Amino acid sequence: MVWFLYTYPKAKLCPQLLPAPRQAFTIGGSLIGGIVETQQVLDFCAEHQILLQVQMIDIQDINEAFEKINNEEVRFRYVIDMNSLK
């Protein structure tokens, strides 16, 4: 048996309703939703001028960027300048 949640359920899952432990089952989920939900978020952001914060970096700076991400020193997305690959 496989259960898959595409978005947060409206009600909490009740463990009593799940199959008994002796039965094989899988529960999966997605925190980003489907295409419709993603489009709704994009439309909302466009309507309210909510923009991403990004920093363009060269590929040669990828290790430094990765280290900053691991050290939680950044609050934006890095974007690799593909022209720096040449």
pLDDT, tens digit (0-9, with 9 covering 90-100), for 4-47: 545 555 556 555 555 555 566 666 666 777 888 889 988 999 99
Q: Which domain holds residue 76?
A: 52-86
Q: How confident is the model at residue 72 (pLDDT cuts 50, 70, 90)?
A: very high
- For residues 46-58, average pLDDT: 92
pLDDT given at position 69 = 93
Same structural domain for residues 19 and 57?
no
Contact between 26 and 2 (Cβ < 8 Å)? yes
Same structural domain for residues 40 and 10?
yes
Same structural domain for residues 56 and 26?
no
pLDDT given at position 61 = 96
Coil, strand or helix at 43:
helix
- For residues 48-75, average pLDDT: 93
Residue 28: beta bridge partners?
4
Same structural domain for residues 35 and 69?
no
Same structural domain for residues 61 and 85?
yes
Same structural domain for residues 65 and 31?
no
Instruction: Please state, in angstroms and as integers, the Cα–Cα distance from residue 67 to each residue in 9, 12, 23, 33, following that order.
Output: 36, 37, 43, 30
Number of domains in the chain: 2
